[in-house]
């Protein structure tokens, strides 16, 4: 699996938007971009995924660069419950269920 690069940590104010960046310059054409998050003392939780087009769901939005070498997870209004480690993962469509996690970004939300 191709590697991703994320900032170690980010800070946000409650009720403000948060943009979490991810670089994946060696992404292949069959790699999907997945985001998971891990709240304290819990297992990871699926957030969103996409291939080429921007995606929205009830939790977040995923903005994918036109060349697909980077992407941004957008939380529209951060809450204290969004404080977690966010992982950006590339997964080939034919790779089965194996997820290759990196170090992720620790998001801190200030009240």
Partner 1 sequence: DAGVTQSPTHLIKTRGQQVTLRCSPKSGHDTVSWYQQALGQGPQFIFQYYEEEERQRGNFPDRFSGHQFPNYSSELNVNALLLGDSALYLCASTPGQSSYEQYFGPGTRLTVT
- The CA angle 22-27-29, to the nearest 5 degrees, is 130
* Shortest spacing between CB 33 and partner 1, in angstroms: 11
Considering only the stretches 9-17, 19-27, 69-77, 88-96, report the one whose residues sit in contact with partner 1 under the rule CB under 8 A: 88-96
Tokens of 66: 């036109």
Calpha distance 19→31 (Å, rounded): 22
Q: Which of residues 43-62 bind partner 1 (CB under 8 A)?
A: 43-46, 49
Cα dihedral sign for 45, 103, 90, 6? positive
Number of residues that bind partner 1 (CB under 8 A): 23
Calpha distance 106→38 (Å, rounded): 9
Site membership for partner 1, residue 7 (CB under 8 A): no
Site membership for partner 1, residue 28 (CB under 8 A): no
Residue among 35, 71, 75, 87 that touches partner 1 (CB under 8 A): 87
Given the complex with partner 1, which of 34 and 68 has the nearer CB atom? 34
């Amino acid at each position: 699996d191709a590697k991703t690069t994320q900032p170690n940590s980010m800070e946000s104010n409650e009720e403000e938007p948060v943009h979490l960046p991810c670089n994946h310059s060696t992404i292949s054409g069959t790699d999907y971009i997945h985001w998971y998050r891990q709240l304290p003392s819990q297992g990871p939780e699926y957030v969103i995924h996409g291939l080429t087009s921007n995606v929205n769901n009830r939790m977040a939005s995923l903005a994918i660069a036109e060349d697909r070498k980077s992407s941004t997870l957008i939380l529209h209004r951060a809450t204290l419950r969004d404080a977690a480690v966010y992982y950006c993962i590339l997964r080939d469509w034919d790779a089965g269920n194996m997820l290759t996690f990196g170090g992720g970004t620790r998001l801190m939300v200030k009240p």
